[in-house]
A and B are shown apart, each in its own frame.
Chain A
Amino acid sequence: MKTIIKFGKWEMSAILINAMSTKVFLNFPRTALEVGGTAGWILILYVTLLSIIGFLIIYMLYKRFNGKDLIDISEYLAGSVGRIISGLIIITVLTLMIIVILREFSEDMKTITLISSPLSFVMIFFAAAMAVGAYFGIEAIARCHVIIVPIIVAAYFLIIVGVLPQSDFSQIFPLLGSGTDKIFLQGTVRMSFFAELLILFLLTSFAKDNKTVKKAGIISLTATGLFFLMVVIVYISLFPYPSDLENFLPLYQIARLIDYGRFLQRVESIFVLIWSSAAFLFLSVSFYLLIHIFTKTFRIKHYKPLILPFTAIIYALSFIPDGLPEIVQIDAYFVHKYFFIVTFIFTILLYAAANIKSAGRRRDTSDA
């Protein structure tokens, strides 16, 4: 008998919070300030609000298709062709996300702690965690999230609160920073900061019911928006604009500033721990979903035999970017700039079309 795995809102929220928030450990605060200047925090408020609205629209359209993920909907809309096209789009997006995170975390780890180790060696650990996570399956991954995400969040708060005495909040002036155009028009594409919300629409088949999806979506978007806001405000209050654009690992630089005499200093070691945990979790869930979507798209019965070859492919693809600057560019100017198209626009269009088709069928049935 096949076991049916179902999550509650906390499992789902933990997965989504980690997936969307992992970037706070990377280049994200710098990117936000690069777009909005001293008003980077307003940009975050704005895109968080837009993303919540976007999610609610998707949810309204999704409601009728309880438990159906994007692949199911595509199949419903256009049969196998639809399923394969959607599947390939999602596989591409997930692959890119995984490659960026795998390479960026490994490069950063090499830069700050494992400076003498070869990149290939550092990356093996992240790749191994990803493969092991996928091997044990989504239930184990979800349980790990529920245990580890609160610890990561607590450590994150410790870092943020720890530097508050050194913060100078007058640095948020001039209030509108780079200007309203850059924030509210050009900044709209930065809904891509929440691009990982796509995971929710791939996990819908594991959700207990519609309410779980709705609650998980709202909780995770709000929590992530709050984490983004906190890190951006604290970062700008510590490193005056525009010198804050120099650092490629803002939260690490923030953690290095914590110094309470001889009793509490060098807490960046905690940072490295929570940072790698967040990366392990994100990689596990997205890698699992990559294989899950692949098997679903191409109607493959078992996913476990795919783990090793996919790990090898992802590992190899991660070496394509020349170096850290290139991967940072891909992250800031491609993944977290244009991926909102898939997460929000593609998803809305797909569900909207499915609703139209469904309404049409019902009309036909009632006419008959």
Chain B
Amino acid sequence: MQQQISSRQGGAEIHLMRRLIRRLLYLLILTCFIVLFSGCYDASEIEDNGYAIAVGLDKGTTNSVRVTLMLAVPEGAGKSGGSGSGSDAGPEGAGSGSSSTSTIVTVEGPSLYGSMNMINASISKQVSFSHAVLLAVSEDLARSGDLEKFIHGIERGREFRPQTNFAIVRGTAEQYINSIKTVLSNSEYKHLDLAFNTFRYTSFSVDSTIFSFYNQVESTSEEAVATLASINKYNKSEEFNNDSSTYKSKSRTMPLERDFYAGDLPRSGGTKDEIAGLAAFSGERMVGILDAEDAAYYLITTGKYNHSYWNIPDPLKKGYYVVINIKQNRTPRIDVKFTGDKPYINLNLYLEGDFVSIQSGINYENPNNIGIIENTVKTFLSNGISNYLNTTTKVLCADINGFGNYAKRNFLFWQDWINSNWLNKYKDSVFKLEVSFKVRRTGMMVMTIMENGK
């Protein structure tokens, strides 16, 4: 009996001991969690990082590359900083331009990340590209073909977002970044974010991101394009001239709004930075630039066009325009066939539009007259697009539209496709273009009454 009691007592003690050990174990685990999950070990607070808004790459004079960073200045910080520009560079080559929400630093180094190291060593925060909204590369660097030294590193790194806008700058990227000022936005970040998306309603430029550019550069069926940006060359309206407009080469008497490259738009005031046109590449080397009208045709023919206003010369009254908001009705139908080695490209475009303004007051809304405008628009766009396609085949020799993606359908095996050498063959392409255009709406008016009721 006594033995039974002592064995029961022993069992209770073991049970108690087990409970104690279990509780101690839980406590140990909890302590581990508190220590390990608190994030103190390698925590990186927002204010510990210097977030680059825009990154500029130029050819260096003392080293491979000149890197210009526009860094975000958090609210409340940097209030005492003076304003300036990259040209205010100190002896180390680092300058500081600043506005209320950003500061600019320029360095020269052997690579982008090497230059980032140099900047990290000179500013109090660690530079991060994870919120960069723009990567701007100078035309000079892009034309030299040296871009290949940097673009793979950018893609390999986890820092740059794939959606970061990619632009080629006429002039230097350093000057361009220094020209970016906030006027209608609170921050440079917002300004750039919105500015590089204006193509959706202006069609002055294209959608070019690090992701799209890199894929196009690596592609076997298309060449790369990038947004064309620059600093506007005019300070006052008295300086405006049409010397650098492309209208003469299009046999026009006066420029239309898209007959310009970035930097040449006749405008003053607002911000100095400007986006218009596109830069075309063959592989990693830039081969040419196209104006804002060609950028619109690029968008239309690739199906990336959204809508924008177009000034169409009035067919019945010279010197007058019919303004139409042209939209893409359906994605283009593209078919590529080969006869021998020659590519034949059928391109069918489906567009529609709404009247915005009829300067002449001619009653084009009338169903009997509407066809006149529709045919005029068709002819206008067909001629423009034909010229654009001709430029891509004969001048640029670069399939920036990606017709190769359709040509690939003629091949069963990858090796046959590679042997076809499409990117070299593109220049011999023959196009058959069909543009369909319909006026769908006439704005808030269904007919035009002239002055005095005529």
Partner of B413, one of A176, A253, A257: A176
Pair A179/B413 contact, Cβ less than 8 Å: yes
Docked complex: B198-255 residues within 8 A CB-CB of A: 211, 214-215, 218-221
Partner of A170, one of B44, B406, B414, B415: B406
A173 to B403, CA, bound (A): 13
Binary CB contact string for chain A from 288 to 324 against chain B (1 if under 8 A, 0 otherwise): 0000000000000000000000000000000000000
Q: Interface range on chain A: under 10, 10 to 19, 20 to 34, or 35 or more?
A: 20 to 34
Pair A243/B214 contact, Cβ less than 8 Å: yes
Q: Chain A residues with Cβ under 8 A from B42's Cβ?
A: 114, 116-117
Flag whether A171 is at the interface (Cβ < 8 A): yes
Interface stretch of the complex, out of B156-164, B285-293, B446-454: B156-164
Binary CB contact string for chain A from 155 to 188 against chain B (1 if under 8 A, 0 otherwise): 0000000000000101101111111000000000
Binary CB contact string for chain B from 393 to 428 against chain A (1 if under 8 A, 0 otherwise): 000000000000110110111111100000000000
Min CB distance A308 to B, Å, is 13
Closest residue of chain B to A176 (Cβ to Cβ) is B412
Pair A243/B414 contact, Cβ less than 8 Å: no
Pair B405/A243 contact, Cβ less than 8 Å: no
Flag whether A240 is at the interface (Cβ < 8 A): yes
Given contacts A37-B414, A177-B414, A239-B215, contact A170 B408 (CB under 8 A): yes
Pair B409/A173 contact, Cβ less than 8 Å: yes
Flag whether A326 is at the interface (Cβ < 8 A): no
Pair A174/B41 contact, Cβ less than 8 Å: no
Q: Chain A residues with Cβ under 8 A from B218's Cβ?
A: 240, 242-243, 246
Closest residue of chain B to A172 (Cβ to Cβ) is B408
Closest residue of chain B to A38 (Cβ to Cβ) is B414
Q: Chain A residues with Cβ under 8 A from B41's Cβ?
A: 117, 121
Q: Chain A residues with Cβ under 8 A from B416's Cβ?
A: 174
Pair A174/B412 contact, Cβ less than 8 Å: yes
Give chain A's interface secondary structure class: loop
Q: Chain B residues with Cβ under 8 A from A240's Cβ?
A: 215, 218-221
Closest residue of chain B to A265 (Cβ to Cβ) is B163
A175 to B413, CA, bound (A): 7
Partner of A168, one of B214, B405, B409: B405
Flag whether A6 is at the interface (Cβ < 8 A): no
Interface size counted on chain B using CB atoms at 8 A: 26
Pair B163/A178 contact, Cβ less than 8 Å: no
Pair B405/A259 contact, Cβ less than 8 Å: no
Flag whether A241 is at the interface (Cβ < 8 A): yes
Q: Chain B residues with Cβ under 8 A from A170's Cβ?
A: 405-406, 408-409
Flag whether A92 is at the interface (Cβ < 8 A): no
Partner of B211, one of A175, A177, A257: A257
Partner of A175, one of B162, B214, B215, B412: B412
Pair A112/B414 contact, Cβ less than 8 Å: no
Central interface residue in A37, A171, A174, A265, by most chain B CB within 10 Å: A174
A253 to B163, CA, bound (A): 12
Pair A257/B162 contact, Cβ less than 8 Å: yes
Min CB distance A135 to B, Å, is 12
Min CB distance B299 to A, Å, is 16
A253 to B211, CA, bound (A): 10
A86 to B412, CA, bound (A): 44
Binary CB contact string for chain B from 10 to 47 against chain A (1 if under 8 A, 0 otherwise): 00000000000000000000000000000001101000
A257 to B215, CA, bound (A): 13
Q: Chain B residues with Cβ under 8 A from A243's Cβ?
A: 214-215, 218-219
Min CB distance B404 to A, Å, is 9
Pair B405/A174 contact, Cβ less than 8 Å: no
Binary CB contact string for chain A from 21 to 51 against chain B (1 if under 8 A, 0 otherwise): 0000000000000000110000000000000
Docked complex: B146-175 residues within 8 A CB-CB of A: 155, 158, 161-163
Pair A174/B221 contact, Cβ less than 8 Å: no
Pair B408/A173 contact, Cβ less than 8 Å: yes
Pair B413/A177 contact, Cβ less than 8 Å: yes
Partner of B411, one of A115, A174, A253: A174
A137 to B170, CA, bound (A): 66
Pair A112/B158 contact, Cβ less than 8 Å: yes
Partner of A256, one of B161, B406, B415: B161
Closest residue of chain A to B42 (Cβ to Cβ) is A116
A177 to B211, CA, bound (A): 24
Binary CB contact string for chain B from 99 to 110 against chain A (1 if under 8 A, 0 otherwise): 000000000000
Closest residue of chain A to B193 (Cβ to Cβ) is A262
Closest residue of chain A to B156 (Cβ to Cβ) is A246
A111 to B159, CA, bound (A): 11
A177 to B413, CA, bound (A): 5
Pair A174/B414 contact, Cβ less than 8 Å: yes
A114 to B39, CA, bound (A): 11
Closest residue of chain B to A37 (Cβ to Cβ) is B414
21 pairs of residues in contact across A and B, judged by CB atoms under 8 Å: A37-B414, A38-B414, A112-B158, A116-B44, A170-B405, A170-B406, A174-B408, A174-B416, A174-B417, A177-B413, A179-B415, A240-B218, A240-B219, A241-B414, A242-B220, A246-B218, A256-B161, A256-B162, A257-B163, A259-B163, A265-B163
Beyond contacts A170-B409, A174-B412: 18 other A-B pairs, Cβ-Cβ < 8 A, are A38-B414, A111-B158, A112-B158, A117-B41, A117-B42, A171-B405, A173-B409, A173-B411, A174-B408, A174-B411, A179-B415, A239-B215, A240-B218, A241-B414, A243-B214, A246-B218, A256-B162, A257-B211
Q: Return the 10 tightest CB-CB contacts between A and B, nearest first.
A: A243-B218, A116-B42, A173-B408, A174-B411, A170-B405, A37-B414, A176-B412, A240-B219, A173-B409, A259-B163
